[in-house]
Amino acid sequence: MRVGIEVGGTFTDLVAIDDDGIRVTKVPSTPQQPDLGAFSALIESGLTASQIDDLAHGSTIATNAVLERKGARIAFVTTRGFRDILLLQRHGRNQIYDLEYQKPKPVVARADTFEVDERILSDGQVLRPLDRQDFLTSLLLKLTDGAYGAIAVCLLNAYVNPAHEREIRDLIAQNAPDLHVSISSHITREFREFERASTTTLSAYVQPVVDRYIARFAARLDEHEFKGRFSIMQSNGGRLPSPAMRGNAINALLSGPAAGVIGAARQAARSGYRNLITLDMGGTSTDVCVVTDGKPQLTQEFQIEGLPVRIPIVDIKTIGAGGGSIIWVDDGGMLRVGPQSAGAEPGPACYGRGGTQPTLTDAQVVRGTVRPEAFLGGRMSIDAKASRRVLEPVAARFGLTVEQAAESAVALGTANVVRAIQIISTERGLDPRDYVLSPFGGAGPLHAASVAEELGIETVVVPPSAGVVSAYGLIASDFTQFASQTHRALADETAAETVRSIYAAMKDEAVARAANLNLGDALVFELIADMRFVGQAFEIAVPIPVEDVATLTAGDVRRRFSEAHHRVYMFGGDASRPVEFVSFRLGVTAPLDVLPLLEETAVGNAVKRSEINLFVGGAWRNGQLIARSDLEIGGPIKGPALLEDPTSTLFLPEGWVAERDAHSNTIMRKGTRT
C-alpha cells in the first residue's frame, strides 16, 4: 500500500492506493501542529500504519518557519571582512517607487555573525589558510555554548574550494556533535556570494524545525508499528528518504505545491496530454505552473520573503486566491478578493467556526455551485445562511443582489488566476493556447472553464479525485536529488570536453549519494549547463541530454545555447560573440518501479442525476447535477452542470461539453466538439 499525506493551509489530504483500489480522505489542517492533521487523516481513513509500505509526506512546515520567522536562532560564519553580506544584499530594489522601502530582513542577526581568518581565491588557490588556533580559542566556544540551534557557514569562494568550510564543520562536530552545521558548498555550490549566503542561512534556519518535525512524525509512526519507507517531498518535484531531508531542509520549501504539479502531470500524461498548465486552487492560495513534455519547469530564481534561494525549485507562481480568500472593499470603493485568507481557522463563514468575513467559498455557496449537503462528500456541514449573511453588506455597498455580488467576486477571483498564468506563460514567450489546462485542488475545477475561456485554451483536463491530486503526486513522484557546481569557462572549441569532464565528475558524486540513500541502481541523469554571452549579467539554462554527451561537439554546445537563448529572448545571438559556461547542475532520479494509478471515487452521499438551479450569467438557470463517478466513458455531458466527487466540484458552463475518458480524466471542451 502506498499512502500520500499532504498538509495544506486549509485541509490535509490523504490518498491511499493498493491492489484493492483507492481511498481518499480530507480533514481540516491544524496549522499550529501540522503532524496532528496528518495523523487525523490517517485515523479518519481507517488505515493503520502497519499496513503501509510506502508513506510520502508533504508539509508547509519549512515555508511557514520562514514566513512566520519561527526558525531556530542561528549563527553565521563567514570570511573576515564580509560580515555584512546578508545586510548589504544587492543594489536592486523590488519596489522602486516606494520611498519607505527597506531591504528584506535576514534570518540571522548581525550580532550572531562571526568572521574567521582565511582566504581562498576565485581559482581555488589558498591565499591564507584557516587559522585553526584562533577559531578554536576565540570562536568555537561562542558557537557551541548552547545559544544557537544551528550554524551556517559561507566562506568566500568556497564554491570552488570547500576545504575551509569542511574544516570548520568538522571542528564544530568534534566539540558539539549534536549541533547542525550547514555549509554553502553542500547546500548550493554556486557563485554569487549573497545568494549563496542567503540560501545557506535559510537552510540552517529551518533545519532544526524540520528535524524536530520529521523526528516527531517518525516516532509516532514507530509507535503504530510502521515498517515501510518514509519519504519527504522536495521543492524540485522529487522526494527523498526522510533521513536525507534532515541534512538539507531547504529542499522542503514548497513541497506541497510541487507534489500537485507532479500528480497532475502524471495523470494527464495517461490521456496523452504532456503540455499543460496546472491550476491548483485550494483553500488558501492558488498555484499555477507550466509543464512541457511531461516535465514541470524548474527555476533557480526563487525568493521567499524577499530572500533569494538558489536551489532547483518547480517554477510555480503562487497568489492569494483560494476558496478561503476574503472578499472586501478597498479604500477606493473597489471590490477585491484576497490575498488575505480566512485559512483553516476560522475558515469561511459557512464552515460555522466563527468566520465573519465573506470568502470565495461563501460566494460559490450562494451561487449554488457548491452544495452544502455535498461538501467533502457530505462529511462536513455547511451553513448556507451564514454565506448569504456575510455577503449582504457587500451587495448593499454596490446596490446588487447577494447573488450578483457573489458572481462578481467569483469573476474577480478568476481574473486573479488568469493574471498569474499570464506571468508564467505569455510573459515568458509561451502561448497558453498551445497547452491544456489541468485544474485540481478543492476549488480549481470550479473556476477552470472560465479561466480557460479568458486565455483562449480549448481543452481542460480534470483529474479524478481532483481535490487530493497533491497527495497523489507525493506517491507518484520519483526519488530525485540535484547537485550544482560553478565552473567558469569559455564555450570555445574545448566546450565539448568541458561538458564531458564536468559530467563525469558530477556523475560519480551523484552515484555515491544515491548509494548512500539506498535509491538502487536504475538511475536516470539530467544535465543542465547555465550559460551566457560573455558580458551578460545573468545566464540561461541549457539542457544537455546525457545520452549525447559522449558524441557532443563544440558546435552542438553552441547550437543548444542559441536555441535556449532564442526561447527566452527571441534572439539567438551573434555567432561571433563568445559564450561561456557559468555553472552545471546534475539531477539523479530513481524512477518508481510501478506508477500508482489515480481513479475516480464514488461520492459519499449518493448523488442522483437531477436538475438544480445555478446562478450564472446574472440569472438563475437550470442545470444538471451528476456524480463524476457516474459519467460513462465517451458519453458527453452538456453544460450548465455540476459534476461532483468527494473532494471537489467541477462546474461546466453553458456552451461547454465534458466527457470521461478511459483513464478517469474528465475532458472539457468549448462548444459541441468532443
What does the pLDDT read at residue 378?
A: 62
Among positive and negative, which fits the CA dihedral 130, 135, 137, 138? Answer: positive
> Which residues neighbour 222 within 8 Å (Cβ) at sequence distance 6 or greater?
none
DSSP letters spanning 585-608: EEEEEE--SS---------SS---
What does the pLDDT read at residue 632?
A: 84
DSSP letters spanning 19-46: TTEEEEEEEE--TTSHHHHHHHHHHHHT
CA torsion angle for 240, 507, 488, 556 (degrees, to 10)?
A: -110
| CATH number attached to the domain at 479-590 | 3.30.1490
Phi-psi region of 266 (alpha: psi -120 to 50; beta: other; left: phi over 0): alpha
What does the pLDDT read at residue 377?
A: 61
Q: Rounded to 5 degrees, what angle do the CA atoms 218, 219, 220 make?
A: 90
Residue 495 and residue 553: Cα distance in Å, rounded? 8
Residue 261 and residue 285: Cα distance in Å, rounded? 15
Residue 108 and residue 369: Cα distance in Å, rounded? 47
Residue 420 and residue 278: Cα distance in Å, rounded? 11
> Which residues neighbour 22 within 8 Å (Cβ) at sequence distance 6 or greater?
15, 16, 465, 598, 599, 601
- Using N-to-C axis directions, what is the helix angle for 554-569 and 495-516, rounded to 10°? 80
Report the SS3 class of residue 166. Answer: helix
Place of cell 470603493: 333
Q: Which of 428, 188, 207 is nearest to 300 (CA)?
A: 188
Hey, what's the cell of 143? Answer: 558557537
pTM: 0.88
Residue 580 and residue 530: Cα distance in Å, rounded? 9
Q: Which residues of the chain have pLDDT under 70?
A: 344, 376-379, 602-607, 672-674
What does the pLDDT read at residue 376?
A: 65
Q: How many residues appear in the chain?
A: 674
Residue 291 and residue 259: Cα distance in Å, rounded? 13
What are the extents of the domains in the chain? 67-192, 479-590
Residue 336 and residue 410: Cα distance in Å, rounded? 10
Chain segment 43-98, per-residue pLDDT in tens: 888 899 999 999 999 988 888 888 888 899 999 999 999 999 999 998 877 778 88
Place of cell 467559498: 361
Q: Which of 425, 365, 644 is nearest to 437 (CA)?
A: 425
Q: Which of 556, 545, 557 is nearest to 586 (CA)?
A: 545
CA torsion angle for 224, 225, 227, 230 (degrees, to 10)?
A: 20
What does the pLDDT read at residue 670?
A: 87
